[in-house]
Amino acid sequence: MSALDVGFPAHHPAPGLPTEVTVYEVGARDGLQAEKALVPTEAKLAFIRDLVDAGLPMVEATSFVSPRWIPQLADASDVVRSLAARGDDLTRHPVLVPNQRGLDRAREAGASAIAVFVSATDTFVARNLNMTRTQAIETAQQVVGEATAAGLHARGYVSMCFGDPWEGAVPPEQVATVTRQLIDAGCYEVSLGDTIGVGTPGHVGAVVAAHQDLGVGPGSLALHFHDTYGQALANVYAGLQAGVTTFDAAAGGIGGCPYAGSATGNLATEDLLWMLHGLGIDTGVDLAKVVRAGAAVTHLLGRPSPSRVVGALGLD
């Protein structure tokens, strides 16, 4: 019998925190894109199905990047078409698009929701997208404008929000300026990424406050943490205290960043849910089902899950 079978974690709400939170699952896209193994399309679809069945409201499906860059997601069109064929609500399965070509491919496949990504720093965007930060923002703005005009939902990602391995510390005001541009372009929400996992709780508060100074409230933000230095859950708690109610995570803690060698996996959805449920925060997600989904995908990848919850339950 596991801890989940006997009712753990116990619920003990903390004053002043949100009562509901959206867990935005990125394992099938951000998680798998950084893995060396090529996962079969049917296995990806099963992973997405299991995550939806667990009650996760948003399960990012794939990315329409060049297969030369990310061969792990070369089957993006097949994934989206298969999801549509089985009757999935594609607004719950956003796809990442890096440019106009990516948007065109996503629309051809039938996508209903897209995400764009830029960096808060110059060096990372040059290495990642082979363009300047200004060019990357302008490209994202154009893609978002066309997508929203066509009736698609558009989300934004900003990477390197808490530190850059080449440039060092990143001023919170610099991050907020990039976010403001994406919001103005039509993104309904912008996810702030701690791409190399160097953020700490006070830093999270400072970044959210810098956004509020530019008129971007916590309701328009999501937080995306990596656990490189073991700070991800502490940073989530700081985000909750700042009023943020959407957090990205990947079942099984899979992923990392193929363009930032020091980045470890994403915050594990299982660990995030354990903390949120312990705080009495409603997510609408079945933790036990996510644990099983995460364990299945890490077994498929041939390695143990870094999730502490999965390890404690003896499923790694």
Q: Is 257 a catalytic residue?
A: yes
Show the tokens assigned to 201: 């709780």
Instruction: Say how far apart CA 123 and CA 139 lie, in whole Å.
Output: 17
Q: Is the dihedral of CA 158, 161, 165, 169 positive or negative?
A: positive
Show the tokens assigned to 48: 């997405």
Q: Are 197 and 264 in contact (CB under 8 A)?
A: yes
Q: Is the dihedral of CA 291, 293, 297, 302 positive or negative?
A: positive
Q: Are 49 and 296 in contact (CB under 8 A)?
A: no
The amino acid occupying position 217 is G
Q: Which of 254, 264, 255 lies closest to 305, judged by CA?
A: 254
Q: Are 162 and 199 in contact (CB under 8 A)?
A: yes
Q: Are 58 and 22 in contact (CB under 8 A)?
A: yes
Q: List alpha helices for the chain, DSSP H.
A: 32-33, 41-53, 76-85, 100-109, 122-129, 133-149, 172-185, 201-213, 232-241, 269-278, 287-301, 308-312
Catalytic residue among 210, 257, 287, 297: 257
Show the tokens assigned to 140: 């994202």
Residue 23, classed as helix, strand or coil, is strand
Which position has the token pair 């990947």?
Answer: 250
* Catalytic positions, written as ranges: 257
